[in-house]
Structure 1
């Protein structure tokens, strides 16, 4: 034992001495890359050493670090798609801190190409299953009623299934919506939707970067099984004040940003509100609906090495309906987040971030129909503290490590009952709902290693521990990504990931529960678990102007949650007793082709997949299709810059029909006091029918009006004209049973939601 210890100690000493020699022969270039006009930090900008043919990219805060061998003179190219590349030469004898400002490209029509300046990360990085969504596409591709929407664009990516017609819900590689971790400046957004899912809660004018991770998760991410949607807010213009906004058919938005102290601090405030309630009230007196969202962020350079961010978000939906047909409902839901982050650059190679995050989410929905009343309440409050570090030993290593603590409070409850003759029934109040308290600790380490010019690895380990009511779960989550380059433009990648999830969104299965409920793991409800393997081929063409990839995956999921068949919850928060647990598996192959430059840009994605679930207490223990199991999924998104004034865009979607359950018969039960009004349906198998295939074409045209005048002030304006569902395809929304008035035989009726919808909006920027 002592001999082994001495051998290990000797090896460590030898390794450290070799590293010291190498360090003495090397220098480090570090700093930040920013936008010249706004001072915004640029995420994913490329820094390339033209002498030694090595490079790196900026992190989430625009920081980079590149260690290389000393030389008399070293040349660098700083670049990012959509920006003019910048060339720099430095004396390569001493380490240097260098902040670079890049200017946006005026046009991409006749762009001069410089070797190795384009973003080659999709081929060279070991991580797979990552797609950065260009903000340009988000702002130009058509959407419902002209509302620019992040989540609508996410639905066009490979491996992502859309939810119901017109909604922003998305399902990644066979997982449910709760298996997607949606983060805004590191704060979890539990319900990223407005207007029953028609729009997302994210105002695109306040956003800087959107990235989707659907496989090969780095160790710093955890707590969800299927995807990470990482959204970063703008820091605010630290050069000059700016005002932008838009006026649409349903909403208006306004964004104000500027420096508190030029180059040192800035702010951005962005607000949006709908006026559906004002427009609909004269025509639909019993209906009232409005939503709003507000983003705010402040950032301060405390010193050359210290930076402080304070950001917040609040959003609310409120709706009520009072009908003459004895149907009444009220719904109120919203998200509130607050984030404080401190960046510290300890050296040219060590960068840290410390975050404190608050989340608050609630949903309260109640319905009255005839003599029956139902209410559901779901609330979550989180307090998170995180510490993350990034260490860059040399150009062949990038080390991430950190710790995350989360204190969570859940208060779910539901009720469904017949209204007593007195007309007085018990209403669920949030203050009276018993709380469920839990904590999560997670430690992680991740090393991105360039073993050779062809072989790179990303090796990670995450150790989460969950505790609630004396019950504790601890896991070891290995993460491995391997990349092998066949040539500079082609690589093969493989990934293995284990994930665990301690929160569950239980889908409603009866009329008594009109929405879903968040619950926590505990003694009865075990954490969800997944294991995923993936293999991909990545190839770029014409100096990375075209990106292509093929990815195949297989994923297993344990401890999935559903309500028991026919469940009618009473007034109680003990929902765990009403649940059943099962497993699922999903596999598929994804094709992706993307064009980055030129007049015509965009992508084509196609996914062939299958997802099934199996519960011992459901469907006679037989496997059944997942509700959003859609075998074929094709998306085409394109933007065409016709000239300086006109930009045209379109997207086309085709998917196979999703699965749903229909009864094979009905059984009358007289004098029954349930919500089913004395008629029970007879079901044989779960998800035994399929909707018709879904397809839709959307188009838009943008008329740019630069250098306009308003009270002697210059501003840029643009008109956005759009048509959603151009050929008015009557896509299925849901199917219900109705009794034929003549034959008295039940018949299936299909309901379509959104026909052709034209839109027009006006955007401006001072």
Structure 2
């Protein structure tokens, strides 16, 4: 049967949106199928679905985990186009429902390899540090490597933290962390869903080498107003949501403020740091075919220590106006107009060291989804960006770095998906075009390909293959190891530097066994023919040609996920093996995030007195570091005082050849609801394991004594949440 003859069979079409009955929030990934047939689909991130079927009488079923199943009797006539919006009611989740939904999830035709669909309800059950932290929770996922207790930054399958594309309702966020990564900028309660690609991401995403985190935020309750207030040891959080125009428009607002600066004074500790953040989102429905959204997100961190003349400020300003519209049942359209501004400012000892850096980005992106047939979908779109960079460093004595650039980017992508009886193929191309006039005028035109294949061994098992090339037009000036990574200094590709490049090759196997246990295995290989590293020995007088070192890298390994759900019980086990190495000039080394073995176990289970208990155990191989072999004195004559002086210098071993001891810790969380109150106790590092952060030498002794700077000790926290 030819392709067009095949299309002729599908002579009726049904489309629409699926919503939560209580809030009118779109439901992402809802299963929709015709009873006793093979016809089915799922909703996209906007809750939209489209299904093409032959004429006849059917029972159409809408099914979503945690919601009551909805059935409708429908009669399709030839060439009929039917619009049907459905509202699902929440229900208590039984073991049987979980098993059924697990099977359906296993056989949904999601071709994306290395993709985790993240729901905040699940991650909120994990033990936390002071407050629900969305980014820190991601560190338990397979393929994600943790650097230190002080950082919620993501290191994915041997890639650096600057190689991740993080989108917040379509807005590119350049530094999603507070206090150098100690806490993430996003409260879990405002997240609706996130798609996390640890590799092999499709052509609609670009300009990063390792991973994509695409976060969709809640829209707010369209029927009634809700307020959520939480206070704990060091943070206060409040969330408002409700209708603007009932059933047509809604909003959600969130505010968080730390009080490290106030709380620690009780213990006579002066720590003059605080942060605050605000989030606002509103939406308006355009008939039954579209919506418009406005999103605004502000973060501000301040560390001001006047006693020692240190001023350190950084933050983000994000804003977007977006729209989605169903131009026809077969053509779906999304567009984003976004603005992102990340900045930081440092002043040590009244301009002894002065740093001012910012990156601004104005972006317009449009995506089109065309459904040729039930088994054939085309995605295409374009993305234009106007960027502005400023990096200014002054050190008293004459050293000065000054980089100012305004690159312009325009990207096109095309992706096609074909569904067959036993397998799915998705192919894509992405063309980047970038112009910069800093240093010299230059155009860049990297062309990248994407290919994914999914083969169904059975209804409950499948194989996946993926290959692709990826380009990155930005570079972060990060020292090779920052124990507490405060700075993300972004500069564009310019002058003698070409875009960074990476290739991903991934194989995957996924199945369900014992009815409700999900198992997945993904070996991978990544090759980087071109990466950059900050040159700490760059010449300040020829900074344009020496600030970056060119190199290569490769990483390989495999990830395992075993997940079991049964009623209110959840077990989450992940293991990742990762080998990563960077090659620069005539030497090579393993980066500090090269942890060979990474094991996480999370248990969430009902406890006494209608409460819940959560445990998280982590074990990681120690990070690489460079040993100090010896030290020596360098003497010089100082004419002003007519005397000799000296400096101490350290002789180092080969870079990152040694490793710190293994890392392990156990976290615990207990939670109980009492009417409108929710009481939560979290204990971080329950048995107070002394994990190494780094070694340092005390030179007041002769010979010097090597000492240890440890990571976080046991930290209990109490949170009280009130909902009204």
Same fold (TM over 0.5): yes
Alpha-carbon distance, 1:516 to partner: 4.2
The equivalences for 1:571-586 within 5 A come to 574=543, 576-586=545-555
Query: Aligned match of 1:637 in 588, 591, 602?
Result: 602
In 2, are the aligned partners of 1:739 and 1:746 still within 8 Å (CA)?
yes
Q: Tell me the SS of whatever aligns to 2:189.
A: helix
Query: Aligned match of 2:168 in 166, 170, 184?
Result: 184
The aligned residue for residue 249 of structure 1 is: 233
The equivalences for 1:267-282 within 5 A come to 267-281=251-265
Distance 2:339 2:548 in 1: 29
The aligned residue for residue 468 of structure 1 is: 436
The aligned residue for residue 642 of structure 2 is: none
Alpha-carbon distance, 1:654 to partner: 0.6
Alpha-carbon distance, 1:124 to partner: 3.7
Query: Aligned match of 1:700 in 650, 662, 669?
Result: 669
Alpha-carbon distance, 1:509 to partner: 5.6
Alpha-carbon distance, 1:229 to partner: 0.9
In 1, are the aligned partners of 2:272 and 2:304 still within 8 Å (CA)?
yes
Distance 1:284 1:362, change over 3 A: farther
The aligned residue for residue 380 of structure 1 is: 359
Cα displacement string for residues 627-679 of structure 1 (whole angstroms, at most 9, x for unaligned residues): 11000000111211337831111111110011112332223223499xx9822
Matched, 1:752 2:717: no
Distance 2:590 2:399 in 1: 38
The aligned residue for residue 424 of structure 2 is: 456
Residues paired across the two proteins, number? 711
Relative to the length of structure 2, the TM-score reads 0.93
Matched, 1:659 2:638: no
In 2, are the aligned partners of 1:529 and 1:558 still within 8 Å (CA)?
yes
In 2, are the aligned partners of 1:405 and 1:442 still within 8 Å (CA)?
yes
In 1, are the aligned partners of 2:7 and 2:373 still within 8 Å (CA)?
no
Distance 2:86 2:103 in 1: 17
In 2, are the aligned partners of 1:123 and 1:540 still within 8 Å (CA)?
no
The aligned residue for residue 422 of structure 1 is: none
The aligned residue for residue 8 of structure 1 is: none
Distance 1:520 1:573 in 2: 17
The aligned residue for residue 305 of structure 1 is: 289
Q: Tell me the SS of whatever aligns to 2:406.
A: strand
Unaligned runs of 5+ in 1: 1-10, 419-424, 707-715
In 2, are the aligned partners of 1:77 and 1:117 still within 8 Å (CA)?
no
In 2, are the aligned partners of 1:66 and 1:392 still within 8 Å (CA)?
no
Q: Tell me the SS of whatever aligns to 1:298.
A: strand
Distance 1:519 1:261 in 2: 44
The aligned residue for residue 72 of structure 2 is: 88
Unaligned runs of 5+ in 2: 639-644
The equivalences for 1:290-369 within 5 A come to 290-323=274-307, 327-368=308-349
The aligned residue for residue 139 of structure 2 is: 155
Distance 1:566 1:68 in 2: 65
Q: Tell me the SS of whatever aligns to 1:202.
A: coil
Cα displacement string for residues 399-425 of structure 1 (whole angstroms, at most 9, x for unaligned residues): 21100001111111223346xxxxxx9
Distance 1:248 1:115 in 2: 39
Distance 2:524 2:495 in 1: 32
Q: Tell me the SS of whatever aligns to 2:123.
A: helix
Q: Tell me the SS of whatever aligns to 2:510.
A: strand
Distance 1:35 1:672 in 2: 77
In 1, are the aligned partners of 2:692 and 2:709 still within 8 Å (CA)?
yes
Between 381-390 and 201-210, report the one with greater CA deviation: 201-210
Matched, 1:55 2:24: no
Query: Aligned match of 1:563 in 513, 534, 547?
Result: 534
In 1, are the aligned partners of 2:148 and 2:711 still within 8 Å (CA)?
no
Between 718-727 and 533-542, report the one with greater CA deviation: 533-542
Alpha-carbon distance, 1:302 to partner: 1.9
Distance 2:646 2:660 in 1: 27
Alpha-carbon distance, 1:55 to partner: 1.7
The aligned residue for residue 421 of structure 1 is: none
Alpha-carbon distance, 1:284 to partner: 5.2
Matched, 1:734 2:694: yes
Distance 1:517 1:575, change over 3 A: farther
Matched, 1:437 2:406: yes
In 2, are the aligned partners of 1:560 and 1:582 still within 8 Å (CA)?
yes
Alpha-carbon distance, 1:332 to partner: 0.5
Matched, 1:410 2:370: no
Cα displacement string for residues 456-491 of structure 1 (whole angstroms, at most 9, x for unaligned residues): 111111111111112111122110110111110011
Distance 1:434 1:611, change over 3 A: closer
The aligned residue for residue 641 of structure 2 is: none
Distance 1:581 1:747 in 2: 37
Alpha-carbon distance, 1:61 to partner: 1.0
Distance 1:15 1:467 in 2: 42
Matched, 1:689 2:658: yes
Distance 2:522 2:101 in 1: 25
Cα displacement string for residues 244-284 of structure 1 (whole angstroms, at most 9, x for unaligned residues): 12111111111111111111111111111111222234655
Alpha-carbon distance, 1:733 to partner: 1.5
The aligned residue for residue 709 of structure 1 is: none
The aligned residue for residue 506 of structure 1 is: 477
Alpha-carbon distance, 1:565 to partner: 5.0
The aligned residue for residue 194 of structure 2 is: 210
Distance 2:121 2:631 in 1: 53
The aligned residue for residue 183 of structure 2 is: 199
Matched, 1:521 2:493: yes
In 2, are the aligned partners of 1:124 and 1:491 still within 8 Å (CA)?
no
Matched, 1:98 2:84: yes
Distance 1:483 1:230, change over 3 A: same
Q: Tell me the SS of whatever aligns to 1:155.
A: helix
Between 188-197 and 526-535, report the one with greater CA deviation: 188-197
Distance 1:658 1:464 in 2: 35
The aligned residue for residue 227 of structure 1 is: 211
Relative to the length of structure 1, the TM-score reads 0.88
What is the RMSD of the two structures over their aligned residues, measured on CA atoms?
2.6
The aligned residue for residue 397 of structure 1 is: 376
Distance 1:626 1:760, change over 3 A: same
Alpha-carbon distance, 1:157 to partner: 0.7
